[in-house]
Amino acid sequence: MELNVPYSNIKIDPDRLFRLARLVPLMLLAALSACARMNMVPTADETPGMGTLILMNSSPTATMPPFQPPISSSNPTSTPTLTPEPDCLSLGGQVEATSIPSQNMNGPLQFHIYLPPCYDRDISRHYPVLYLIHGQSFTDDQWVRLGAASTADKLIAAGTPPFIIVMPFDKYHYRQPATDPFDEAVIKELIPYIDTSYRTLAERPFRAVGGLSRGAGWALHFAMTYPELFGAFGGHSLAILDEDGPRLRRLLDAIPPEEMPRIFMDIGKDDGLRASAARFESMLTEREVPHEWYLFPGVHNEKYWAGHVEEYLKWYADGWRQE
């Protein structure tokens, strides 16, 4: 229904209108004063919208502090629990490929080195050292590829005494000791460097040397020529160096019983070098030199050596377990 009220019928009381006019400014002033007390006087471009945080009873320039997780009412003084660092044994060791200057090698002497788990964390501990030498035509990464580092991690995590492995590179692998400077480079340069640069147990009982194929020949050369330096020798598929063959008996006879290293020898039953290795084993038997001698199924290849890496490392470490 439409209501039509003629403007001429509206009557305005001048006194009442005057009183209302006086009240309006007072009402506006009171409203503005109340808003100011609550710090809630938005300007035209500061009107809060959806999702805007309004700060109550705070300075206009204040900012929210960083979020703090609530503290449990049952333990008001508790602090957040820190995530523990991973167990260094579970992280495994580390392998580095490096080199040192060598006057004997006419250039750098390259080597891989395995540092056991927790080496960087337990800085007061010193370790035995195993020198492992590669086969002919291979390089210093051969033992790493065959699983020496990963196997050492596994054994050490299971309780085997931790140790360092040094794997040097003989770049003159086609030479004999008389013309190959590898001998003096290892004895006069590498071993002193390792003992001064790493936390080793730099004594004969805690230093072992081993190798495979021609590397086993070098290991035998070092153990027989420098028995005062090595407490253990491992010959895996031993290939005796040509120049060492005729002098092995003399070298054996010159070593005092108390300086004879622990000896481990193994070879595949179908290895072409079996007869040569067996002749040296016979020399040990004739002289009643304590040693371990194993014939396993297999031939002269990496599959054979990789299959026995764990056995080798256990044997070396067992000598240190007893010290």
Residue 220 lies in a domain: yes
Q: What average pLDDT does the chain have?
A: 81
β-pairing verdict for 129-133 and 232-236: unpaired
Average pLDDT over residues 245-269: 96
Interatomic CA distance for residues 156 and 152, integer angstroms:
6
What DSSP state is assigned to residue 244? T
Instruction: Write out pLDDT tens, residues 53-72.
Output: 333 333 333 333 333 333 33
**How many Å apart are CA 289 and CA 263, to the nearest integer?**
9
Which tokens is 79 given?
A: 């602090």
Indicate whether 39 belongs to any domain: no
Distance between CA atoms of 222 and 289, rounded to whole angstroms? 17
- What CATH number is attached to the domain comprising 279? 3.40.50.1820
Mean pLDDT of 11-19: 46
The pTM (predicted TM-score) of the whole model is: 0.73
In tens, the pLDDT along 101-129 reads: 999 998 999 999 999 999 999 899 999 99
Q: What is the pLDDT of residue 178?
A: 83
306, part of any domain:
yes
Residue 248 within any structural domain of the chain: yes
Q: Distance of CA 59 to CAs 49, 50, 63, 191, Å?
A: 20, 22, 9, 71
Predicted confidence at residue 77, as pLDDT, reads 42
- Which pLDDT score is estimated for 72? 37
Q: How far, in Å, CA of 281 to CA of 308, rounded?
A: 19
In order of 25, 35, 36, the CA distances from 30 in angstroms are: 9, 9, 10
Has residue 42 been placed in a domain? no
Of residues 144 and 1, which shows the higher confidence score?
Answer: 144
111 domain-assigned:
yes
With vertex at residue 318, the alpha carbon angle to CA 313 and CA 323, rounded to the nearest 5 degrees, is 135
Domain total for the chain? Answer: 1
Does 265 map to a domain? yes
For 17-31, 123-137, 212-226, 293-307, which range has the lowest pLDDT when averaged over its residues?
A: 17-31
Q: What is the pLDDT of residue 86?
A: 57
Structural domain containing residue 311: 89-321
Task: Provide the b/e sequence for 176-203 (b: ≥16 CB within 10 Å).
Answer: ebeebbbbebbeebbbebbbeebebbbe
* Distances 77 to 61, 70, 83, 303, 322 between C-alpha atoms, Å: 31, 11, 19, 61, 50
Residue 295 lies in a domain: yes
Of all residues in the chain, the percent with pLDDT exceeding 90 is 68
